[in-house]
């Protein structure tokens, strides 16, 4: 999510208010709209706000239509003005700053004031959908999505309630489920669990109330920090033509397998949890003992004592 939020901010600064002069689709399945629909509701219209829900980008047009962009694993968005890169984001590959369009370019939007917007996708999973406000509101993808991790709806009470349907599933699997909270990917789940000192494999129902409070806070701290440092996107991320540092240099676990934990010095270990590569510190993130069956869990005891 931080990478997509960084891209969203760059797009707001560079293409909001731009008039779409032409749309060229280079791989037809990429866009769900027919040529006549594109000519009627996209070409000739202005881009309003650019919003984000989870990892999806929503371009509001100047009437009740929207471009819904799912970048998936390998999608990229590139904006150039008079041929010079202004904003780019999504899957980091070296040719993102090379000539455009390239062999992965799926759609090209010609915008006013010499701007071009390219959407590329290496593996053909990314999609653009042209939708009405009504369709967007009823989209099951958004209806089932949990609150935004950095939004006002993500309270400790809501987090606790969303986790209640998990019993023995690892806490990391619950965090990666976008129905729990929107916008936490694999790397960030690891970082949040490290800051909260919870083992990624800890059964969700056995996480104590105190640990859950730490995790809720850790999610906000880690994601805010990542957005402020442009996520993991690129060593030299360009936004508004300026270079920015990335959050990679600050990560606690990402890419640091075998290196000392920044807190305790123990080598970071790598394992698999919920089918995903997972880094953790065996010292800072011990597995808490599962509560004995039929006895109150540590979490419940703790809640009773604090209420
Ligand atoms: Zn440690």
pLDDT of the residue at 243: 45
Is the separation of the CB atoms in 16 and 30 below 8 Å? no
CATH T-level topology, domain 156-299: Helicase, Ruva Protein; domain 3 (1.10.8)
Centre of ligand 1 to C-alpha 217, Å, is 19
From 147-156, 241-250, 295-304, the region with the lowest mean pLDDT = 295-304
Give the model's pLDDT for residue 230. Answer: 66
- 191 CA to middle of ligand 1, Å? 12
Same fold: 2-143 with 156-299: no
Render 93-128 in DSSP notation, one character per residue: -GGGGSSSS-TTEEEEEEESTTEEEEEEESSS--EE
Residue 124 burial (CB count, 10 A): 14
Average pLDDT, the chain: 87
Distance 287 CA to ligand 1 centre (A): 13
Ligand 1 centre distance from Cα of residue 113 (Å): 52
Q: Where are the domains of the chain?
A: 2-143, 156-299
| pLDDT for position 221 | 94
Look at residue 301 in the predicted model and tell me its pLDDT. Answer: 41
pLDDT at 302: 40
Q: What is the second-level CATH architecture of the domain 2-143?
A: Alpha-Beta Barrel (3.20)
Question: How large is the average pLDDT for residues 102-112?
Answer: 96
pLDDT at 287: 82
Identity of the highest mean pLDDT range in 107-116, 219-228, 297-306? 107-116
Residue 306 has pLDDT above 80, yes or no: no
Nearest to 41 by CA among 59, 14, 28, 16: 59
Count of helix runs (H) and strand runs (E) in the chain: 9, 13
Give me the pLDDT at residue 227, please: 82
Beta strand pairing call for 20-25 and 105-111: antiparallel
Q: Parallel, antiparallel, or unpaired for β 75-81 and 84-90?
A: antiparallel
257 CA distance to ligand 1 middle (Å):
12
Q: What is the CA radius of gyration of the chain?
A: 21
Cβ neighbours of 56 (radius 10 Å)? 20
* Residue 236: predicted pLDDT: 41
| Closest to 68 (Cα-Cα) out of 145, 148, 135, 151 | 135
Reading the block at residue 232, the tokens are 């993991």
% of the chain exceeding 90 in pLDDT: 64
**Cα 265 to ligand 1 centre (Å):** 6
Q: Is residue 154's pLDDT more than 90?
A: yes
Q: 151 CA to middle of ligand 1, Å?
A: 29
CA 69/CA 54 separation, integer angstroms: 11
Q: What is the DSSP letter of 257?
A: T
Kindly report, residue by residue over 36-81, the tens digit of the pLDDT. Answer: 999 999 999 999 999 998 889 999 998 899 999 998 888 999 999 9
Percent of the chain having pLDDT more than 70? 88
Q: Cα–Cα distance between 149 and 155 in angstroms, integer? A: 9
Residue scoring higher pLDDT (141 or 196): 196
* Residue 63 Cα to ligand 1 middle (Å): 52
> Which one is predicted more confidently, 271 or 235?
271
Residue range 1-24: mean pLDDT, rounded: 91
Ligand 1 centre to CA of 253 (Å) is: 10
pLDDT digits (tens, 9 = 90+) for 262-291: 999 999 999 999 999 999 999 999 987 655
Q: What is the pLDDT of residues 199-226, one digit of tens each?
A: 999 999 999 999 999 999 999 999 988 8
pLDDT class of 4 with cuts at 50, 70, 90: confident
Q: Is the pLDDT of residue 295 over 70?
A: no
Centroid of ligand 1 to alpha carbon of 258 (angstroms)? 12
DSSP letter string over 122-181? SSS--EEEEEEHHHHHT-HHHHT---BTTSTT--HHHHHHHHTT-SSSBHHHHHH-TTTS
Closest CA to 9 of 65, 61, 73, 79: 79
C-beta of residue 171 within 8 angstroms of C-beta of residue 202: yes
Q: Give the 3-state secondary structure of residue 224.
A: helix
Pairing of strands 115-121, 75-81: antiparallel
Bridge-based pairing state of the strands 115-121 and 105-111? antiparallel
């Amino acid at each position: 999510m931080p990478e997509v939020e960084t891209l969203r901010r760059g797009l707001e600064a560079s293409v909001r208010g731009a008039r779409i002069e032409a749309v060229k689709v280079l791989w037809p399945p990429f866009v769900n709209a027919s040529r006549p629909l594109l000519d009627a509701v996209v070409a000739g219209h202005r881009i309003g706000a650019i919003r984000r829900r989870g990892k999806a980008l929503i371009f509001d047009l100047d009437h009740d239509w929207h471009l819904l962009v799912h970048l998936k694993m390998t999608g990229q968005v590139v904006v150039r003005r008079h041929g010079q890169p202004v904003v780019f984001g999504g899957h980091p590959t070296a040719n993102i700053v090379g000539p455009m369009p390239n062999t992965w370019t799926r759609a090209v939007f010609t915008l006013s004031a010499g701007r071009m917007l390219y959407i590329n996708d290496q593996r053909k999973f990314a999609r653009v959908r042209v939708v009405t406000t009504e369709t967007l509101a009823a989209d099951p993808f958004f209806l089932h999505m949990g609150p935004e991790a950095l939004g006002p709806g993500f309270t400790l009470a809501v987090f606790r309630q969303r986790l209640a349907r998990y019993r023995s599933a690892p806490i990391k699997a619950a965090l990666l489920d976008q129905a729990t909270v929107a916008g936490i990917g694999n790397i960030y789940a690891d970082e949040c669990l490290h800051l909260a000192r919870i083992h990624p494999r800890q059964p969700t129902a056995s996480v104590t109330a105190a640990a859950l409070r730490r995790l809720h806070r850790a999610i906000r701290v880690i994601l805010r920090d990542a957005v402020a440092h442009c996520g993991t996107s690129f060593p030299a991320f360009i936004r508004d033509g300026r270079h920015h540092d990335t959050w990679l240099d600050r990560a606690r676990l990402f890419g640091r397998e075998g290196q000392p934990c920044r807190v305790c010095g123990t080598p970071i270990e790598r394992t698999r949890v919920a089918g995903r590569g997972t880094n953790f510190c065996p010292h800072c993130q011990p597995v808490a003992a599962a509560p004995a069956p039929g006895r109150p869990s540590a979490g419940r005891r703790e809640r009773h004592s604090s209420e």
